[in-house]
Amino acid sequence: MPLNVSELPLVGGHPALDLVNTLERGGNSPPHDFLSDSPALLSWSVRVGMISDAEADQVARAWYDEPAAAHAGLTAVRDIREGLHLVLLAVNTDADDDTLAAGDTVAAGAALVGLHERWSGAAARARLVLGSSQVRLAYGTVPAMLVPDRTAEAAFDIMLTADLTRVRRCPVPEGGCGWLFLDQSRNGSRRWCRMADCGNVVKARRLTERRRAARSSPS
């Protein structure tokens, strides 16, 4: 049975990468979407720190009063998720992974256009806020659009401020899950989403295979 969104490991190192990981893409089974409905989206948004508990209450009331806005918010977040996934795969192609080697730069370009449109809408609803040392752009001034606007902000942030060459994909060909994460290790050698999960599973399987091969080989 798949985990629910409250149990989903947060391994991305950035909310935008954790967003991409809410759709399982590795393995042979059909993809499982952890953002199954608007309540799941709201729960996930609080969990990753994209919105506060108080803001979640505002969003919940707005979505309860206007169910169409809840559906639109979920659709927008899923669109941002898929667009960002395409862009990140195009930037970080692993020649050993067939799914990445076949990355379509045309599709990634179209995804960038879509992401820019989502961000432009979010920026149009944002406002300038005077802080103690700087002026910042505060996204999410409209409760019904708060979650997709903050999601667009997160996608914009990782694309423009992160070192995208440090974005890794847990290697599916080697038994990994396909989740994306930001490699923050000093020498850039991190391979697995979590060593305690995919890394140890693959290591255990390889050990079993070596032992089986040793038993079957002539003495």
Q: Residue 134: pLDDT band by 50, 70, 90 thresholds?
A: very high
**pTM for this model (two decimals):** 0.84
89 vs 74, which has greater pLDDT? 74
Contact (Cβ atoms closer than 8 angstroms) between residue 74 and residue 37: yes
Percentage of the chain modeled with pLDDT above 90: 59
**Residue 158: predicted pLDDT:** 97
72 vs 213, which has greater pLDDT? 72
Rounded-to-integer distance, Cα 155 and Cα 205, Å: 36
74-84 average pLDDT score = 98
Contact (Cβ atoms closer than 8 angstroms) between residue 118 and residue 152: yes
Nearest of 84, 65, 87, 81 to residue 147 by alpha carbon? 81
Judged by DSSP in three states, 66 sits in: coil
**Residue 31: predicted pLDDT:** 80
Contact (Cβ atoms closer than 8 angstroms) between residue 27 and residue 201: no
Rounded-to-integer distance, Cα 180 and Cα 2, Å: 19
- The string of DSSP letters for 81-104 reads HHHHHHHHHHHS--TT-HHHHT--
Rounded-to-integer distance, Cα 188 and Cα 92, Å: 14
Within 10 angstroms of residue 76's Cβ, the number of other Cβ atoms is 20
Q: Residue 185: pLDDT band by 50, 70, 90 thresholds?
A: confident
- The string of DSSP letters for 142-188 reads SGGGHHHHHHHHHHHHHHHHS-GGGEEE--GGGT----EEE--STTS
